[in-house]
Amino acid sequence: MINTQSFGLLPRSFFALLLGVLSTGLTFSLHAQENPYIVAYDHNLEEPGSLEVEYFSTFGTQRSGPDFHGFWGEFEYGATAWWTTEVYLDAQSTFGESTIFTGYRWENRFRPLKNEHFVNPVLYIEFENDNEADKILKEVEGHDVESNYAVPNAIARREKDRELEFKLILSRNYKGWNFTENTLAVKNLSNDPWEFGYALGAARPLTQKGASHRCNFCAQHFIAGVEMYGGLGDRYSFGLHNTSHYVAPGLAWNLPSGWTFRVEPTFGLNDLSHQFLLRWGASYEFSGFGQAVESLFKGRRE
């Protein structure tokens, strides 16, 4: 059963605003070239003025509790060519228990350097306001292990989880490949210690040349990759002890119409990890969203 009380006013008014903006005359989309990563980030930011609306799912198996389906919506906006801002709305269904809204996140990514370099840094900062029932596994940090996710929703949702999350993203595009490394530091705003984590990724399109005819199924539209991520303990017990780790091969299909579909089977690498997660997602990119907002507030220009 969906707990409607948990959804509150924010998502409804947010969706109303979004629908209003989208109905003001967005006519074309822009085809972005998205890598298949779901956890790792690369240094490619959203195009300025574009809004990418995304939906992702994580189906998770659990040995010590019921399986679950974590899902989230993302609204990713290119504020400038060097700043991307993003809002997440998280929810989950635990089979045999309930479906609940678990919280929101506000994320910002900044590209400090003007040009491409051998390695390109991006600074990431996120404010997270959710509860302990959150199961989207958007990142793995500290001593996150499978058994943490077995707590029944009714109990876990009572505990608030407000965190600031920082990432240093180091990424490079080289000969068609993307290589990325993310280092993660998280501070719970209560009195918990700093927690750490990592994510690594590599991806490449199936072919590097564009086709000379229009097609949806050409190899250039498919990007295959793999990512690996896990926790690195906390300030008092840094390292691999009592942490979980995952490896996930993935595929992204970037359609010329602006749609991107991603699928990523994920495998736990030790006994403390979920044995198997299946992640998938769909996104659509609206170009000219910034101008549509401008016309909403300032009126149309000749």
Q: Tell me: does residue 23 bind other proteins (CB under 8 A).
A: no
Give the footprint of other proteins on residues 218-257 (CB under 8 A): 220, 256
Element holding 106 (H helix, E strand): strand 99-110
Stretch of 93-101, 113-121, 131-139, 146-154 lying at the interface with other proteins (CB under 8 A): 113-121
- For other proteins, the closer of residues 25 and 96 by Cβ is 25
Element holding 269 (H helix, E strand): none
CA distance 85 to 89: 14
CA distance 254 to 234: 37
- For other proteins, the closer of residues 112 and 236 by Cβ is 112
- For other proteins, the closer of residues 86 and 141 by Cβ is 86
CA distance 17 to 87: 14
CA distance 109 to 111: 7
Give the footprint of other proteins on residues 140-159 (CB under 8 A): none
From the CB of 23, what's the least distance to other proteins, in Å?
Answer: 16
User: In terms of C-beta distances under 8 Å and separation of at least 24 residues, what long-range contacts does 5-9 make, across chains too?
Assistant: 6/100, 6/101, 6/157, 7/101, 8/101
Q: Tell me: does residue 25 bind other proteins (CB under 8 A).
A: no
Binding string, residues 51-80; x marks residues near other proteins by CB under 8 A: --------------------------xxxx
Using the 8-state DSSP alphabet, how is residue 5 labeled? Answer: G
Coil, strand or helix at 57:
strand
- For other proteins, the closer of residues 99 and 220 by Cβ is 220
**Interacting residue with other proteins among 12, 158, 209, 235 (CB under 8 A):** 209
Token pair for residue 264? 């990523």
Q: Tell me: does residue 87 bind other proteins (CB under 8 A).
A: yes
Using the 8-state DSSP alphabet, how is residue 136 labeled? Answer: -
Quickly count: other Cβ atoms within 10 Å of residue 169's Cβ. Answer: 22
Q: Tell me: does residue 85 bind other proteins (CB under 8 A).
A: yes
> Where does residue 46 fall: left (phi above 0), alpha (psi -120 to 50 degrees), or beta otherwise?
beta
Q: Tell me: does residue 6 bind other proteins (CB under 8 A).
A: no
From the CB of 300, what's the least distance to other proteins, in Å?
Answer: 10
**Interacting residue with other proteins among 7, 18, 22, 31 (CB under 8 A):** 31
Q: Tell me: does residue 178 bind other proteins (CB under 8 A).
A: yes
CA distance 109 to 3: 32
Element holding 288 (H helix, E strand): none
Give the footprint of other proteins on residues 278-297 (CB under 8 A): 287-291, 293-294, 297
| Contacts with other proteins, residue ranges (CB under 8 A) | 10, 28-33, 35, 42, 44-45, 47-50, 77-83, 85, 87, 104, 106, 111, 114-116, 127, 129, 162, 173, 175-176, 178, 205, 208-214, 220, 256, 287-291, 293-294, 297, 301
